[in-house]
Structures are given as C-alpha cells and as structure tokens.
Amino acid sequence: MPSDSPQARILIIEDQKENLDLLIDMIGAANYQVVGAQTGEAGLKLAFQHIPDLVLLDIQMPGLSGFDICKRLKANAATHDVPVIFVTAADRLADKIEGFRLGAVDYITKPYQLEEVRIRVRTHLNIYHHQRELTRQREEIETLRDTAAIVNSTLELGDVLDRILSNLRRVVPHDHANIMLIDEEGMAQVVGCLGYAAETTDQLLQLQFSVADLNTFRWMLESRQPLIVADRRQEPLWQEMIREVNSLAYLGIPIIGEDEVIGFINLDSDTPGFFTIEYADKLRAFTDQVAIAIRNARLYEQAQFLAAAQERQRLARDLHDAVSQTLFSASVMAETLPMLLDHDPEATRQGLNQLARLTKGALSEMRTLLVELRPMALVETDLSVLVMHLVNAVRTRIDAEISLITEGPEFNLPTEVKIQLYRIGQEALNNVSKYALASRVTVEVLFTDDGVALIVEDNGAGFVPDQIGADHMGIRIMYERAAAAAIGLSITTAPGEGTRVIAQWSGRSQS
C-alpha cells in the first residue's frame, strides 16, 4: 500500500487539544486518514476498533501515560506490529531510551516541524507496509507449501480430492467449492464438493456434462485462464449447472496437467464481488500443485490396475502350467486304471499311488495359489506348513525323490521374516524344477532357540556362479529379499555337484 494512499490510517493520541489539532492538520494535509483522541482510554478504543497503520503518541498525559498505552498496544496481537512514534515537549534521553525499549520506532520533540513530521511519518509507514507485504507473501508461500505437502502426501485419488477441498479455504476464502475432472471424451463430472447442502451435494456428484455445452467452462478450457464472476445474476453468459446453487460470486480455474486441461476448481461466495484478481492468482499457484497431485494419483491407479492385471495373468499361467496339467494327467490316469485292474494289478497299484501323488500335488498347487491371492495367509500360516505346500506342489512337476525335514518347535516369526523366507524357498524350488535335473531334493526347516534356517539342496546340474547373470534364476531377487529382512543367504554350487541354498535368520531374542 503506498504511504500517501487514503487507506493509510494514522491515530494521534495527545491530551492538549491545540497540539492534537495541529498534528491532525499537518498530517491530514498529506492525504492520510487521521483520527485523534485526547485520553489514553479513548485512543486504545479507537486502535482496537480499527487497527491503524501508525500511532503518534504523547508521553505526558493524565491517567494512562504514553508509555502505558504503548505497552498495551504492543501486548495486543492485532496492534503489536503497528509502528509507534512518541511526540513530546521534553527532550529527555531517559524518555527516549524507555520509548525505544517499549518498541517505539521514533521520537519527535516539540515544536513540530511540518516537513520533518511528514518525512518521518511517511518513512515509517513505508517500512511498515513493506514489512507487512513481506509477511503476507511469506505466509502465502508457507500456506501454499503446506497445502501442497498435504495434498501430495497420498496417492489415493479419493484422498487427494478430499485434501484439496479441505485445504482450499486456506488459500482462498469461499463459501462452497467443487472439483471437476474431464474424461477423454470431453465430459466433465463433479468428483468432490464441500460446503453445499446435502441435497445439492448429491445433485452435483451426479452431474455430468459436455464442457463445450457451457459457456463458462468452454471459455476456461479455451483460454486456460481463471474466470471471475462478480454476480451471476448480472452475467449474461452465465448458465447454471443446477438451480440449487444460490451463491452469487464465482471463481473458477482450469486444472492443467502436462499442457492439457484435466478439470476445474470452482469456488462460490454468497457475497457479490467477493473474488479478486489476487485471489485468482493465489488459486492458480495452488492449482499447479493440484494438477501434479491428481496426475500422480492417476498414475498410481494405473500402476495398481496394471499390477493387478499382471498378477491375474501370472496366476492364470500358473493354473494352466501347473494345476491344469496335473489335473489333466490325473484325469487320464483315472480313466485308464479301471482297464488295467483285471489284467495287471501291480501296474494298477502303482498307478493309484501316482494318482494320489498327482492329486495331492494339485491340491498343494491350489493352496499355494490361494496364498498368492490372499496375502494375509502368509502371515496367518506357519512357515513349515507353507513350505510343505511348496514341496508337495514341486513333486508333481519333477521326477525326483523329494524329502521335507522340519526340526524344532516353531515360534512366531516376524511377519517380514516369514514372508521373505517363504519367497526365497519358493524361488529356490522353482529353480530346482526348471534347471536342476535332479534325482534327489532335500528341503529343511530348522528352528533353533535363536532363529530359523531354511535349506533347499539338490544333486542336480549345478552351475558356475560367476557365469550366471544376477538377473538369471532370480538370484538377485533372492538376495534382495534376504537383505530386506536381515536374513543371511548363501548359495553353494558347482557344475555337476548340485546346489545348496541356505537362508538363515537369527534374532528371536530381539523379536
């Protein structure tokens, strides 16, 4: 605010009427709004009713002295920063020291010199207004930073929209607000609103329209600029979305993400002419952060959808590759065995054993897949049982003697340890079935007083570790899983000598 603006309000507290009138005339001639009071009580009342931009304060007054008034002004949060200039006939050093100690910015002695008073008043007004503007800008930046941090603290789109709405009032005051998003066909839909009556909220959330059909939104879409409407009743281009919105003033702004309008923020006020260009600029700065938050939330939704689709495809593959083939083999065997019963009882007996093995393996495959579909099962099921399902599932895939050994009483493992041990065992057994060509496989789950060890050993082909890439056979993933849960992992192998994988966790006493 310029120092000689009529908005600059100066309060003069002086008990001598001739001095008060003189100061009012001197300062009022400089185009300030000047009010005066002859007592401390009256001056304080004026100060607290309408905060001044500067106070001229006499020291020697009956009742409350200038020092007492200054103390009260500085003790009040509303007037704490208002500059105070002492005016007095006594040019005493002790008074000057006390005045500055109480927070005054200057000290003028009588007789007053017109130009001196005006220069000092103008100087301190300029300093005060400059400091106030800096404070306002700093608070505005902090508000935008804080709200941006809050808005971007989640990746769930619903939470993002709720936080945008709840923090909008910190940026721009308003009575009602809603957010619209635009789909690929140019249709806008209200996805969140705040401050409306329940019936109006329901209607807004059901609203869907073409952006090109409403003048206001088409203009914002094409211009990419905020729109301020002082009074809807006097705006010839205004078209109501629903009649239940009775607010008069409107501020709308397009949400622009990656050079594309992806939606709108709409603010309403019941006060005509409420929204200003300054409010529009503040909203624009906030909307830049909103666009980033919405974009991140949408990418997160897409990533979740893609991950779910990939997981469904993987499970479908596993069902086809493992369970379906196993059940097909079991079905063929079940149909063939009755024909062998009379001619070759021994072959029938062996076939029944093989049929039992196939169905048991298929059941374990299904249980393993159910664990994948319901991850809480990993937490709820004992590690030895989880490993048993893995072993039984592998029995249907390879022609090898597979032994499962469990030792020691099982205790409650930390969730992360159990999950990572299970995944390491799963990866090790997958490698056995795919690459080992083993005739004998041993799996051990050994519980001790201090921890647990999972060992997967085969007598298969083995490999040269230095010649196997980190991404081959899931070795890198196994080591990453082990590191994530402080599990010690060692892989011992050589060509023609099989492979031994040991995953060991110690720390029961700290768990």
- Confidence at residue 499, expressed as pLDDT on a 0 to 100 scale: 94
- Confidence at residue 435, expressed as pLDDT on a 0 to 100 scale: 86
- Confidence at residue 475, expressed as pLDDT on a 0 to 100 scale: 84
The tokens describing 105, both together, are 């910015």
Report which of 31, 42, 35 is spatially closest to residue 69, judged by C-alpha positions.
Answer: 42
| Residues 368/393, Cβ–Cβ less than 8 Å | yes
- Confidence at residue 264, expressed as pLDDT on a 0 to 100 scale: 95
CA dihedral 111, 113, 117, 118 (to 10 degrees): 160
| Residues 51/73, Cβ–Cβ less than 8 Å | no
Give the C-alpha distances (Å, rounded to integers) separating 383 from 15, 270, 406, 437, 443. 89, 63, 10, 26, 13
For the domain with range 154-300, which CATH number is right: 3.30.450.40, 3.30.1490.390, 3.30.465.10, 2.30.30.100?
Answer: 3.30.450.40
- Confidence at residue 253, expressed as pLDDT on a 0 to 100 scale: 94
Please, where in the chain does CATH 3.40.50.2300 lie? 9-141
> 185 by DSSP, 3-state: which?
coil
Using a CB cutoff of 8 Å and minimum separation of 24, what contacts does 503-506 make?
503/421, 503/424, 503/425, 503/453, 503/454, 503/455, 504/451, 504/452, 504/453, 504/454, 505/413, 505/417, 505/421, 505/451, 505/452, 505/453, 506/450, 506/451
What crossing angle do the helices spanning 93-101 and 66-75 adopt, rounded to 10°? 10
CATH topology of domain 9-141: Rossmann fold (3.40.50)
Angle (CA) 492 494 495, round 5°: 150
- Confidence at residue 312, expressed as pLDDT on a 0 to 100 scale: 59
Please, where in the chain does CATH 3.30.450.40 lie? 154-300
- Confidence at residue 397, expressed as pLDDT on a 0 to 100 scale: 74
| Residues 150/170, Cβ–Cβ less than 8 Å | no
- In angstroms, rounded to a whole number, what is the distance separating the alpha carbons of residues 266 and 245? 12
The tokens describing 431, both together, are 């490698």
Please, where in the chain does CATH 3.30.565.10 lie? 375-511
| Residues 421/454, Cβ–Cβ less than 8 Å | yes
Stretches where the chain sits below pLDDT 50 are 1-6, 319-320, 511
Amino acid at 354: Q
- In angstroms, rounded to a whole number, what is the distance separating the alpha carbons of residues 304 and 298? 10
Alpha helices in 319-441 (DSSP H): 325-340, 345-373, 376-380, 383-395, 415-431
CATH number of 375-511: 3.30.565.10
> 187 by DSSP, 3-state: which?
strand
- Confidence at residue 44, expressed as pLDDT on a 0 to 100 scale: 94
